[in-house]
Chain A
Amino acid sequence: MNHSESFRSFTMATWLGWQVESNWADPFLFAIYVIIKPLAGAAILVVMYSIITHGNYNSPLFPYIYLGNAFYIYVGSVMTGVSWAVIEDREHYKTLKYMYVAPINIPFYLLGRGVSRVLIGTVAVIVTLLVGKLFLHVPLDITKINWGLFFISLFIGVTLLAMMGLILASITLMIVNHNFFIGDAVASALYLFSGAIFPLEVLPAWLRPIGFAMPITYWLELMRRSLIGNVAQAFPTLARFSNLELISILTGLTIIFGIASIFTFRWCDHRARERGLIDRVTNY
């Protein structure tokens, strides 16, 4: 692998992705756009919770739901961000064919396109956490946060999501219709099965194994544990696992997804070239 070419592809795509994402509006409108959507999503859950519990935010279930939902912003952002780049370049800007003939590394280019979404997602997560801390009594204490665990888990988690995004981007190269929705479809499915907004025990017993097979389940648990420690460990879903065991599982699954993403991209890329799908416009 040519490292300078890969690095250049990644950084150039990061800059391009940021321009595409942000330069359609003035900074003020863009800032509103970045925070309103995730805050509204969080507010739906907060209202649902407060109606039923009459505003009892002291229950450990509330931070479980709130933090799971906050960090889930990354899932949609990163996975959809990487896969959406294929649609944008191929169908909208019609530039994917030019990217293919340029001296760049396409997988690194696609990953770079997702970085802007990571940045936007990070702002949304921080604002959501701040609102939770300031207005909803989410028990976030900056002196009690396990920062080491937090940053390690965040790094592994975002890497995992990027690999999943690359798999989706590879599949998107092959799909004719409704490829706009593939990122949303997977993110929605994971939202339901990964215990993001309710403990897996709430799912029917026959659906729980799906949740345990999802790497995001372990990632969200680690994020919660790093921020609110014992409160998160009180839930039985993954209580039998130590932090180290959870990190090991997450790292193992990230490596598996990383390898899978390389092979999936190679196969889909070859098929897409063979079938002339690189410059296709489906108009859906």
Chain B
Amino acid sequence: MKANNSLAFSPSEKVTGWRLFIKTIGARAYPRVIGMQREKSWMFFDVFLPLLAVSAYVFVYRAIGAPEEYVGFVVVGGAMTAFWLNILWSMSSQLYWEKEQGNLALYIMAPNSMMAVLLGMALGGLVATTLRALAIIVLGSLIFQVQYSITSFTQLIAVFFLAMTALYGMGMMSASLFLLFSREAWHLANLAQEPVYLFSGFYFPIKSFNFWLAAAASFIPLTLGLDAMRQLIFPSGALLGFLSVKFEITVLIILCVVFLAGAKFLLDYMEKLAIREGRITENRR
């Protein structure tokens, strides 16, 4: 009798090297992007909630008689909170969640690079979060009639991508640190929310701070990214900018290199440390 070929075991093509690296990135990014299509209730929670916060801050500015461009500052800042929340809850603490669910050991056992796993998380998170941020900007701009005046599309796109690269590099770096955490991971991510909204100037221009405080806050890529974007899209943005856009772009490039290299170094180190201390499969609830 002739065997049924469709049931025969056929090993898939063995992928190694950079192909495996790319494939791992795609595989880890896939659930983040596809998950959005399968579970559409995110639109309510991930767009509606930040929009409520944005609205509250807009009405505060209106109550104290602020110029209308501050409303635009809040809308753009509110949209960018989506990226910070994504970094905190879906990048930094992701390896902790994976450990809790038992996936982390599988990631490490599999013959792929952990760096590729983190890059995939970052890429998928970036695509998904950009859609959320865009929805907040569009809705916020329509509701509060925000006027934009873009001075340079090229610089705006460069600033956005550099800020995101540096930010997600930072997220990858902190993910490796969170590898060692247990219950405290949730609390530490929760703790890092409002202080960063404050120091990165999500709802006001960072120039309002003392120079050195603003310079220290620039360590978080969103600080300079947001400041540069505001300078490029609002007529009075340049007057309220912390540094010149060109200088901020230069600093963002440096931050990209520092955070991506730091992520690679820390991930290698922390993975070894976590394996040595037996924390990959621990579950201290």
Q: What residues on B are CB-neighbors of A93 within 8 Å?
A: 285
Q: What residues on A are CB-neighbors of B60 within 8 Å?
A: 45, 48-49, 65, 197-198
Q: Are A52 and B183 in contact (CB under 8 A)?
A: no
Within 8 A of B (CB), among A55-72: 61, 65
Among B39, B64, B191, point to the contact of A37 (Cβ < 8 A).
B191
Q: A17-45 CB contact bits vs B (8 Å, 1 = yes)? A: 00000001100000001001110110111
Q: Are A184 and B49 in contact (CB under 8 A)?
A: yes
Q: Are A49 and B191 in contact (CB under 8 A)?
A: no
CA distance A185 to B41 in the complex (A): 13
Q: B173-209 CB contact bits vs A (8 Å, 1 = yes)? A: 0000000001110010011011101100011110011
Q: Are A178 and B45 in contact (CB under 8 A)?
A: yes
Q: What residues on A are CB-neighbors of B202 within 8 Å?
A: 44
Q: Are A51 and B63 in contact (CB under 8 A)?
A: no
Does A143 count as interface, using CB distance less than 8 angstroms?
no
Does A189 count as interface, using CB distance less than 8 angstroms?
yes
User: Contacts A177-B39, A181-B49: A37 and B193 contacting too (C-beta < 8 A)?
Assistant: yes
Whole-angstrom distance from the CB of B24 to the nearest CB of chain A?
22
By the criterion of a CB under 8 Å from any partner CB, how many residues of chain A are at the interface?
38
Whole-angstrom distance from the CB of B207 to the nearest CB of chain A?
9
Q: Are B49 and A185 in contact (CB under 8 A)?
A: yes
Whole-angstrom distance from the CB of A43 to the nearest CB of chain B?
5
Does B17 count as interface, using CB distance less than 8 angstroms?
no
Q: Are A188 and B195 in contact (CB under 8 A)?
A: no
User: Contacts A192-B56, A203-B59: A185 and B198 contacting too (C-beta < 8 A)?
Assistant: no
Main secondary structure of the interface of B (DSSP, over half): helix
By the criterion of a CB under 8 Å from any partner CB, how many residues of chain B are at the interface?
40
User: Contacts A24-B184, A185-B45, A191-B52: A198 and B59 contacting too (C-beta < 8 A)?
Assistant: yes
Within 8 A of B (CB), among A170-201: 177-178, 181, 184-185, 188-189, 191-192, 196-199
Q: Are A48 and B57 in contact (CB under 8 A)?
A: yes
Q: B20-62 CB contact bits vs A (8 Å, 1 = yes)? A: 0000000000000000000101101100110011011101111
CA distance A184 to B53 in the complex (A): 11
Among A40, A52, A181, point to the contact of B70 (Cβ < 8 A).
A52
Within 8 A of A (CB), among B61-97: 61-66, 70
Residue ID in chain A nearest B56 by CB atoms? A192
Q: What residues on A are CB-neighbors of B63 within 8 Å?
A: 61, 65, 198-199, 202
Q: Are B65 and A52 in contact (CB under 8 A)?
A: yes
Among B45, B184, B191, B194, point to the contact of A44 (Cβ < 8 A).
B194
CA distance A61 to B60 in the complex (A): 10
Residue ID in chain A nearest B190 by CB atoms? A37
Q: Are A41 and B64 in contact (CB under 8 A)?
A: no
Interface centre among A33, A178, A198, A199 (most CB of B within 10 A): A198
Residue ID in chain A nearest B48 by CB atoms? A185
22 A-B pairs whose Cβ atoms sit less than 8 Å apart in the complex: A25-B184, A33-B191, A37-B191, A40-B197, A41-B194, A43-B198, A44-B57, A44-B202, A44-B204, A47-B204, A47-B209, A51-B208, A52-B66, A52-B70, A65-B63, A178-B42, A188-B49, A189-B52, A191-B56, A198-B59, A202-B59, A283-B101
B residues in contact (CB < 8 Å) with A: 39, 41-42, 44-45, 48-49, 52-53, 55-57, 59-66, 70, 101, 182-184, 187, 190-191, 193-195, 197-198, 202-205, 208-209, 285
